[in-house]
């Protein structure tokens, strides 16, 4: 498929590089998370910001009818390829924007899932409204959101990279704000969900890379949009090697693997569960 010019900067960011290379290091934790969600055969599941299927495919393997939606067209294509290769005809990926799910009917899904996906969409209040709208009464929404200023991997990658990139445009709302419990409660509250039906707990995703921490940094440098942008900006200022050393130091310090040439790095996130 020949991709046309991305229609907005957020789409351009996530179509940059090849996020499937990073997603491949998250598969085991994606499967483990899905296994805890009580998915039953025949359930209607929406995976919003699904990427290439890190959580969508495990849900389909449990018998759910899965619809994946992602802004990045290359990831939608990759997800459909993975589903076909695994014989998961009941898992279909579509292009779409988490702020405008007009192609999806009201009260359709038993479970609306978004693990490190919808948090990156702009207009968070609209994202919350859309997630509530498409989830049936009695269903659930489960979000996984990275936590700002957390000492673990992802928050620290973004902190380091932000020091090497221009400031965001005026009016920019950081996606990391979804990782603050009060914000999640407020946003879903504005969509009509009482606080008593919203729970937030800290959880862990572990990245598993077959290689050293330094080689894992190279994967982020080559394939992960935000890190690619940071390196491009740093190199213009002659600081590319500084950024590389900072990230390698972070990855080596956070690696908990006892096996040579296997990198294991846990990252803390906020798991938000909404009873609709």
What is the rounded average pLDDT of the residues 20-28? 97
Q: Find out if CATH 3.40.50.150 is the number for domain 9-275.
A: yes
- What is the overall mean pLDDT for the chain? 95
Domains in the chain: boundaries: 9-275
- pLDDT above 90 (res 2): no
Question: Quick one: pLDDT band at residue 148, thresholds 50, 70, 90?
Answer: very high
Q: Are 83 and 57 in contact (CB under 8 A)?
A: yes
- pLDDT above 90 (res 89): yes
Q: In the chain, pLDDT over 90 holds for what percent of residues? A: 92
- pLDDT above 70 (res 7): no
- pLDDT above 80 (res 226): yes
What is the rounded average pLDDT of the residues 104-133? 97
User: What is the rounded distance in angstroms from the CA atom of residue 263 to the CA atom of residue 276?
Assistant: 39
pLDDT at 8: 82
Tell me the pLDDT tens digit for each residue of 228-266.
Answer: 999 999 999 999 999 999 999 999 999 999 999 999 999
Question: Quick one: pLDDT band at residue 61, thresholds 50, 70, 90?
Answer: very high
User: What is the rounded distance in angstroms from the CA atom of residue 237 to the CA atom of residue 214?
Assistant: 22
- pLDDT above 70 (res 160): yes
User: What is the rounded distance in angstroms from the CA atom of residue 119 to the CA atom of residue 127?
Assistant: 8
């Amino acid at each position: 498929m020949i991709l046309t010019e991305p229609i907005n900067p957020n789409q351009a960011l996530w179509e940059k590089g090849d996020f499937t290379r990073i997603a491949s290091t998250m598969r085991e934790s994606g499967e483990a998370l899905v296994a805890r969600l009580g998915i039953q055969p025949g359930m209607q599941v929406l995976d919003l910001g699904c990427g290439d299927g890190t959580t969508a495919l495990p849900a389909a393997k449990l018998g759910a009818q899965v619809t994946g939606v992602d802004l990045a067209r290359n990831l939608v294509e990759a997800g459909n390829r993975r589903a076909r290769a695994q014989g998961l005809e009941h898992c279909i990926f579509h292009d779409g924007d988490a702020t405008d799910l007009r192609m999806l009917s009201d009260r359709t899904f038993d479970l609306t899932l978004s693990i490190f996906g919808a948090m990156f969409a702009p207009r968070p209040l609209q994202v919350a409204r859309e997630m509530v709208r498409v989830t049936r009464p009695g269903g659930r929404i489960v979000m996984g959101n990275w936590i700002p200023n957390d000492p673990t991997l992802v928050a620290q990658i973004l902190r380091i990279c932000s020091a090497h990139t221009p400031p965001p445009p005026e009016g920019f709302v950081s996606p990391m704000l979804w990782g603050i419990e009060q914000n999640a409660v407020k946003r879903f509250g504005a969509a009509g969900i009482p606080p008593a039906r919203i729970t937030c707990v800290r959880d862990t995703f572990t990245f598993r890379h077959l290689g050293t921490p330094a080689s894992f940094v190279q994967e982020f440098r080559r394939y992960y949009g935000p890190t690619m942008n940071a390196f491009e900006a740093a190199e213009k200022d002659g600081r590319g090697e500084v950024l590389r050393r900072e990230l390698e130091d972070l990855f080596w310090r956070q690696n908990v693997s006892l096996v040579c040439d296997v990198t294991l790095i846990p990252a803390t996130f906020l798991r938000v569960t909404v009873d609709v």
